[in-house]
Amino acid sequence: MSAYFAYLGKMLAQFFIDVGQWFYDWVVYKYTKLPANFSAYGDFFNAYSPEFGAGGWIMFVIFAILFVAAIGAAGFGLFLVLRKYIRFVKGELDKDELKRQVERLNYELYQIMQERDRILDMKVKALGIKGKAPGEGEEMSEEEETIDEVQSRFPKLVHVDHEYYGKDWEIPEVEDLTLAQLCENFRNFAASQLGLYYTITTIRQLFAGIGAGKLVILEGISGTGKTSLPYALGKFFAHDAEICSVQPNWKDRSELVGYYNEFTKKFNESEFLRALYTTNYRRDLNIIVLDEMNLARVEYYFAEFLSILEMPNPNEWQIEMIGQHDAHDPKLFKNGKLKIPQNVIFFGTANNDDSTFTISDKVYDRAICLFFDNKGIAFEAPYQAPMLIPYSQMQRLYDEAISKYPVSDDTLAKFAELDDFVIKKFRLAFGNRILKQLKLFVPCFVACGGTELDGIDFIFTNKILKKFESLNIAFLKAELKELNNMLDRLFGEGTFPMAHKFVDNMLRMN
């Protein structure tokens, strides 16, 4: 055994010396000098092997197996590293090639557009219409419309101009119409025409929400009819809702309205932008739906709209589209800006699951939120045809409701007392924005056929209690029970069913 260990020491010492020498030679001689000092290992073996003995030979075999395995593992590891490196290099080369192909295709597209422009210019001269402004004088021919769309940086919006400009889109008012009747008619229409069933309370909350703000969020579990509700509303008003599917990679407003391409000199217009632009021509209520709006962060891509819709002067509701004016830009652009008209309502649908982002308080505070937690129950409904209603008539109904059914001073005083309690116990405040929404939503809800206390209950639950989800409820159970008792004391037992249900659920889950 001692002879084997002496051999092993000599052999390993020589091995590491040779490895160092081989590495030095490879670097100095640029990898041209090959290792050749193999005879020394044979000399060591011949000198010591006769004295190994049985134990020495066993150790020799075991070490040989381990040594070969170590060399093999090192070689296999080197192979894996090299293969991964080769794949990485190949992937980077593929990306570069893809970029070159995209650049080539963009350049070819640019050349095609240039050639098309030259052909259209020739057509313009042949038709003898040079200098004729679209929309002025006689009605434009189909050739002129095509030319104008190609020359414009906004072909989709210019196409809308050709479809709507100079035409009478006035809508006659519906006689003896009330908000309560409108709610009943829509509920019957959804049931009889589309097989969609909603409670009358949900419909009243919907129409009251339209009267109280420009953003309505429909939240809840999948399959409860969130997207179907604005879809049905569009069918009811004889003007289909524009449903825009939000994508998870949306980070700013360019994903929503589009962006200007400096290479093609065209604006990549989205369907959302086209629908918003069309709204300026129409005289009825226009519905734009952001489907699954919380797949991306709403406060990122919709931030500009959230700020604009807060401005007290509707004439300031404008979004910047393009910096420098062009003669072929859409007709309704004013200094490169597009106005957000009053007859548009934005709907957002939101699922509550692991694939979505949590909607921030900034968004909730500016919206009216309806929560769907169960499917509608079928009922027999009389046939109801669609109704074409001018938005001006709907706005007048809302204005009359706010004037006729203001929130009573007694209710406001109780609400203020409730505000003080929530601030003291939960460190949450209502804020002026919520109070303003209260004074708009509740009168509209009453005009739709509801009661004042149910309207207050809706606002308190959706605007205040929803914020409690961020609190540590386990340490606030006594305060929540006290809140339940205070609601009964202020507004009477049996009132505020939504608030009591919300509080009871929080107590039950914590």
One-letter amino acid for residue 29 of the chain: Y
Q: What angle do CA 289, 290, 295 make, to 5 degrees?
A: 155
Domain end point (choices 384, 404, 424): 404
Q: What angle do CA 179, 183, 186 make, to 5 degrees?
A: 130
Whether residue 376 lies inside any domain: the answer is yes
CB atoms near residue 315 (< 10 Å):
7
d(CA 484, CA 328): 62
Whether residue 144 lies inside any domain: the answer is no
For 313-353, the DSSP string reads -GGG-EEE--SS--TTS-TT-BTTEEE--TTEEEEEEEE-S
Exposed/middle/buried for 107, CB within 10 Å: 0-12, 13-18, 19+? exposed
Whether residue 274 lies inside any domain: the answer is yes
Quick one: DSSP state of residue 215? E
Structure tokens at 24: 């030095």
Inter-residue contact 230 to 278 (CB < 8 Å): no
Quick one: DSSP state of residue 359? P
Whether 274 and 375 share a structural domain = yes
Whether residue 266 lies inside any domain: the answer is yes
Structure tokens at 222: 């999948």
CB atoms near residue 406 (< 10 Å):
15
State how far the alpha carbon of 391 is from the alpha carbons of 30, 146, 170, 231, in Å: 84, 32, 10, 18
Instruction: Decide: helix, strand or coil at residue 355.
Output: coil
d(CA 398, CA 158): 34
Domain end point (choices 404, 426, 451): 404
Instruction: Decide: helix, strand or coil at residue 219.
Output: strand
Whether 418 and 270 share a structural domain = no
Whether residue 308 lies inside any domain: the answer is yes
Whether 247 and 297 share a structural domain = yes
What's the per-residue H, E or C state across 27-80?
HHCCCCCCCCCCHHHHHHHHHHHHHCHHHHHHHHHHHHHHHHHHHHHHHHHHHH
Exposed/middle/buried for 407, CB within 10 Å: 0-12, 13-18, 19+? buried
Inter-residue contact 157 to 276 (CB < 8 Å): no
Whether 339 and 437 share a structural domain = no
Whether 391 and 433 share a structural domain = no
How far is Cα of residue 145 from the mean position of the Cα atoms in its chain? 35
Domain end point (choices 367, 388, 404): 404
Whether residue 275 lies inside any domain: the answer is yes
One-letter amino acid for residue 47 of the chain: A
CATH number at residue 250: 3.40.50.300
Whether 234 and 324 share a structural domain = yes
**Mode of pairing for the β-strands spanning 266-269 and 215-220:** unpaired
Q: Which of 398, 405, 154, 415 is nearest to 259 (CA)?
A: 154
Whether 227 and 284 share a structural domain = yes
Torsion from C-alpha of 111, 115, 116, 119, nearest 10 degrees: 180
- What's the confidence (pLDDT) of residue 148? 58
Which range of residues forms the domain containing residue 384? 167-404
Query: How many separate domains does the chain show?
Result: 2
What's the per-residue H, E or C state across 231-260?
HHHHHHCCCCCEEEECCCCCCCCHHHHEEE
Whether 399 and 410 share a structural domain = no
Whether 440 and 380 share a structural domain = no
How far is Cα of residue 190 from the mean position of the Cα atoms in its chain? 27
- What's the confidence (pLDDT) of residue 110? 57
d(CA 322, CA 262): 12
Whether 266 and 323 share a structural domain = yes
- What's the confidence (pLDDT) of residue 96? 66
d(CA 394, CA 177): 9
Tens-level pLDDT at each residue, the chain (510 residues): 677 677 777 777 777 777 777 777 766 665 555 556 667 767 767 777 777 777 777 777 787 788 788 878 887 888 888 888 787 777 766 766 766 676 666 656 656 766 666 666 665 555 444 443 333 334 445 545 555 556 788 989 999 999 998 887 789 999 999 999 999 999 999 999 999 999 999 999 999 999 999 999 999 887 778 899 999 999 999 999 999 999 999 999 999 999 988 877 888 999 999 999 999 999 999 999 999 999 999 999 999 999 999 999 999 999 999 888 888 889 999 989 999 999 999 999 998 777 788 898 889 999 999 998 777 789 999 999 999 999 999 999 999 999 999 999 999 999 999 989 999 999 887 778 899 999 999 999 999 999 999 999 999 999 999 888 888 888 889 999 999 999 999 999 989 999 999 999 988 887
Whether 395 and 423 share a structural domain = no
Whether residue 353 lies inside any domain: the answer is yes
**Mode of pairing for the β-strands spanning 368-372 and 215-220:** parallel
Instruction: Decide: helix, strand or coil at residue 413.
Output: helix
Q: Which of 321, 5, 381, 382 is nearest to 154 (CA)?
A: 321
Whether residue 42 lies inside any domain: the answer is no
What's the per-residue H, E or C state across 178-212?
CHHHHHHHHHHHHHHHHCCCCCHHHHHHHHHHHHH
d(CA 217, CA 231): 14
Quick one: DSSP state of residue 470? G
Q: What angle do CA 117, 119, 120 make, to 5 degrees?
A: 65
Instruction: Decide: helix, strand or coil at residue 90.
Output: helix
Whether 261 and 365 share a structural domain = yes
Segment (H or E) for 5 = helix 2-28
Inter-residue contact 368 to 438 (CB < 8 Å): no
